Amino acid sequence: MTDTNDQTEIATLRLRLEEAEETIRAIRSGAVDAFVVEVPNGARVYTLETADRPYRLLVEEMQQGALTLSDNGSIAYCNRRFADLVGRPLERLMGVAFRVFIPLDARTDYESLLQQGRAGGSQGETHVLHADGTLIPVFLTLNALPPDCGAAVGLLVTNLTTQRHHEKLDALLGTLKESDVRKNEFLAMLSHELRSPLAPITNALQLLVLEQANENPTQQQARGIIERQMGHLQHLIDDLLEVSRITTGRVQLHQERLVVSDIVRGAVETVRPLIEELRHELTVLLPSEPIWLYADAARLEQVLVNLLTNAAKYTDDGGHIWLTVELEGVAPVATFARTWASPPETHVLANVATKSVVIRVRDTGVGITPELLPHIFDLFTQAERSLDRSQGGLGIGLALVQRLTELHGGTVEVHSECRHGSEFVVRLPIVSGTALAAGSSPGTSTPRQSTPPAASAVPLKTPVASAPPLRILVVDDNVDTAETMGMLLHATGHEVRTAHDGLAALEAALDYRPNVAVLDIGLPGLNGYEVAKRIRQEPTLKHIVLVALTGYGQELDRETSLEAGFDHHLVKPARFAQLQQILASVSEMVVRPPPPIHPSQLQSQRKGVAP
Amino acid sequence: MKNTDSDTTAAFEKLVAGTPSDEHYVLRLYVTGMSPRSTEAFASIKAICDERLQGRYELEVIDIYQHPQLAIDEQIIAVPTLVKKLPAPLRRLVGDLSNQDRVLLGLDLRRKP
């Protein structure tokens, strides 16, 4: 046993000896970085140059000024970065009191920072003076150093110039965003306000149209001009409204089951006058089978109208435009990758589920320059157009096309080569018949007036339907709007009374007992909703058909007006034809109570309606 | 006393026989911050550990600037030093640790033939 112990001890001692020899060898050959020495109050590390270098480099290259200050606040060491910051030669900085770089009015603060730094640590913002006289904003971090360091305080100087710059930019960005919001609000308000005078002008113009048989050539020419320019003005205001809807994200869809080709026909009818005027050839290719979509008819038509109008406008007279509709079986990328690995049946199924309809609008026009191409779907982007073709517009058509397509779950892309025409490709998901049944919109008892697409720019037409005379109450606080509407209705054979505020409207309803009341919502005293509610509460007035005529066209406004008891909701400027249709349906249903129709009214009706 | 005796014997026998392949290693590397020698030493030891001691080692790296007292406690004189705390016996390797053969020898991990 003892023998074994001895042997173990010998082995251990041998190891220790080997270690000691190794250590000496390593030190001799310079293979170590530092020594650790035990001193009375702990340990001390003596570093050799090799180990020190990285720290030196770090301190010299760092983005901050690094210094050590002696007990009296003079510079014991500083890196080149600080010398650059104050614009002085490095060699001249040793021994200089740091306070000389601090502006006079900030020196007291600096002295107290230094004092706190000596005591342990401190930090604060101040400025340092550059040799060229500029003041540089800086952040100082001071730390007390151990007693044996040869300096009292370590000091870091961080240049805040860039940070201040970023702060300024941030503030500027904030201001810009705010003014953008205000601009959007202004646009929304402006377009709303512009529609108010448009209503009586439209009505008055409609009156002139009804009387056109009696006009002389000058009047006819003048009316023609007003009619065309009104159409243009209305188009611009509609565009403005669309801009504010887009920028505030208030575009809403009223989706229903529909056949693509119906939409295409509608769009083509709308742009046909423009295409014929410019002598373009339009080729429309539709698939033989009907393709069903779940979409907003008016909005989808607007997409196609915008694309076709663009194609017509940016193609020299006598060009060619193609509109093709076809089914495409390409699945979205993720599904596609999966179906490759799947058995054939799955592949087919996946394709059926993700089939889309592709609508292409191609032209032989001027094309789009490469610079413009990336921005073609941005708001307010417009290509240069020749002066003779100054059709105006606000540059929102394609932005709207993209927004509306995306709202329908589709995509739009563009291919174009300058001078060689453009092709816009709209892809929309089609939905299978069973899926549609559940999703299609319920009750259609209330005729929905779609938010005005380009169709509202179509010149005013003589009313289509003739209606047996009705008694109509027209209420609008804009006297001109009420009066012109009254004149127009009177000219088409109806009996009319007008009122300009809520209470007067209620009195007139009780006194006059109209068949139909057309009510503005924003009325002084009692608003349109209140008037409607009170009329509905009055048993003797329960048969009145209530029509809201308002500048507010949002879904919520519709709901509110239906809740208040309105039967119909029209958005200003309502086309007279829309009101005519409502009146016609009322005439069919209402068995008119006495008094009987006055012969003079019958006459004026015939005169107005039969052209 | 008997226990201690047999432990020592076992340690000796291990010393003679070499290290079985399932033994757990506890290593400490003392370095001076980020000097090139320190980073080389760490890289070399980490490589050896990952290759030969996978799943059965602990490696601590101690910067003597940050913890000088630890170096004193472990009787470190010069840095870099690698200390093999387990398995016994305790060993210290000083100096150039980028030489893998030297480290393998020091850790009783002679290269497989």
Neighbours of A504 (CB within 10 A): 17
Distance CA A509, CA A487 (A): 19
- More confident: A453 or A327: A327
Does residue A141 or residue B99 have the better pLDDT?
A141
Chain A hits for B79, CB-CB cut-off 8 Å, are 32-36
The distance in angstroms from the start CA to the end CA of chain A is 134
Chain A residues inside the 8 Å CB shell of B92? 19, 23
The CATH number of residue A344's host domain is: 3.30.565.10
Instruction: Please indicate whether residue A361 or residue A521 has the higher confidence score (pLDDT).
Output: A361
Most confident of A416-425, A433-442, A459-468, B62-71: A416-425
ipTM confidence: 0.72
Q: Give yes or no for residue A159 having a pLDDT over 50.
A: yes
* Residue A428 sits in the same domain as residue A568: no
Q: Flag whether residue A333 sits within 8 Å of chain B, measured between CB atoms.
A: no
Q: What is the pLDDT of residue A70?
A: 87
Cα A61 to Cα A102: distance, rounded to the nearest angstrom: 24
Is B9's Cβ below 8 Å from some Cβ in A? yes
Domain boundary among A440, A469, A499: A440
Give the count of Cβ contacts less than 8 A between chain A and B.
Answer: 101
Residue A428 domain-assigned (yes or no): yes
What residues 51-90 of chain A have any CB closer than 8 A to a CB of chain B? 51, 53-55
The answer to whether the Cβ–Cβ distance between A35 and B31 falls below 8 Å is no
Interchain CB contact of B6 with A (< 8 Å): no
Q: How confident is the model at residue B10 (pLDDT cuts 50, 70, 90)?
A: low
Query: What strands, in cross-sheet order, belong to the sheet with B91-94?
Result: B57-63, B25-31, B81-86, B91-94
Q: What is the mean pLDDT of chain A?
A: 80
Query: Looking at the 3D structure of chain A, how many domains does it have?
Result: 4
Most confidently predicted of A4-18, A488-502, B7-21, B68-82: A488-502
Chain A nearest-CA residue for B64: A45
Taking an 8 Å cut-off on Cβ atoms, the answer to whether A51 and B11 are in contact is no
Tokens of A163: 């940070």
Query: What does the alpha-carbon distance between residue B89 and residue A513 come to, in Å, rounded to a whole number?
Result: 113
Quick check: B37 contacting A, CB < 8 Å? Answer: yes
**A49-63, A158-172, A238-252: which has the highest mean pLDDT?**
A158-172
Q: Are residues A432 and A566 both part of a single domain?
A: no
Residue A8 in contact with partner chain B when CB distance is under 8 A: yes
Same domain flag for A489 and A423: no
Cβ-based neighbours of A70, under 8 Å, separated by 6 or more: A76, A150, A151, A152
Please tell me which residue, A471 or B16, carries the higher pLDDT value.
Answer: A471
């032209």: which residue's tokens? A363
Q: Which residues of B touch A28 (CB under 8 A)?
A: none
Q: What is the pLDDT of residue B93?
A: 87
pLDDT of A97 over the 80 cut: yes
For residue A374, count other CB atoms closer than 10 A to its CB: 11
pLDDT band at A571 (very low <50, low <70, confident <90, very high): confident
Q: Out of A25, A43, A51, whose CB is closest to B32?
A: A51
What is the DSSP annotation of A161-208?
Answer: HHHHHHHHHHHHHHHHHHHHHHHHHHHHHHHHHHHHHHHHHHHHHHHH
- Is residue A4 within 8 A of residue B15, CB to CB? The reply is no
Compute how many other C-beta atoms are within 10 angstroms of the C-beta atom of residue A121.
Answer: 13
Task: Give the integer Cα–Cα distance in Å for A330 and A317.
Answer: 36
Asked if B78 lies within 8 A of A32 by C-beta distance, the reply is yes
Q: Are A174 and A166 in contact (CB under 8 A)?
A: no
- pLDDT, tens digit, for every residue of B17-50? 555 567 888 999 998 877 778 888 888 888 888 8
In a domain, A187, yes or no: no
A9 and A100 share a domain?
no
Quote the minimal CA–CA distance from A44 to chain B in Å. 7
Closest approach of B94 to chain A, Cα-based (Å): 5
Residues in A touching B32 (Cβ below 8 Å): 33-34, 45, 47, 51
Same domain, A22 and A137: no
The mean per-residue pLDDT over the stretch A483-505 comes to 90
Do A38 and B72 touch, CB atoms closer than 8 A?
A: yes
Which pLDDT value is given to residue A497? 94
Give me the CATH number covering residue A77: 3.30.450.20
Residue found by looking up tokens 């690094």 in the block: A66
Q: What is the pLDDT of residues A389-419, one digit of tens each?
A: 445 566 778 888 988 898 899 999 999 887 7
> Of A440, A467, A495, which residue sits at a domain end?
A440
Q: Please name the amino acid found at residue A27.
A: I
Interface test with A, best of B67, B79, B97 (most A CBs within 10 A): B79
Domain boundaries, chain B: 18-106
A300 or A30: whose pLDDT is higher?
A300
Q: Of how many residues is chain B composed? A: 113
Query: Which residue did the predictor score with more confidence, A14 or A454?
Result: A14
- pLDDT for A365-398, tens place per residue? 888 888 888 888 887 777 665 444 445 566 778 8
Structural domain including A487 reads 456-609
pLDDT at A307 over 90: yes
B102 close contact with A: CB closer than 8 A:
no
| Shared-domain flag, residues A543 and A592 | yes
User: For position A576, what pLDDT does the model report?
Assistant: 78
Q: B78 vs A19: CB contact, 8 Å cut-off?
A: no
| Whether residues A333 and A290 fall in one domain | yes
Taking domain B18-106, whether its CATH number is 3.40.30.10 is answered by: yes
Domain boundary among A125, A159, A193: A159
Give the pLDDT score at A385. Answer: 53
CB contact under 8 A, B76 and A36: yes
Residues A140 and A73: their CA atoms lie apart, in Å, by 14
Q: What is the percent of chain A where pLDDT is above 70?
A: 82
CATH of the domain at A480: 3.40.50.2300
Is A79 within the bounds of a domain? yes
Q: Would you list the DSSP string of B25-86?
A: EEEEEEE-TT-HHHHHHHHHHHHHHHHHSTTSEEEEEEETTT-HHHHHHTT--EESEEEEEE
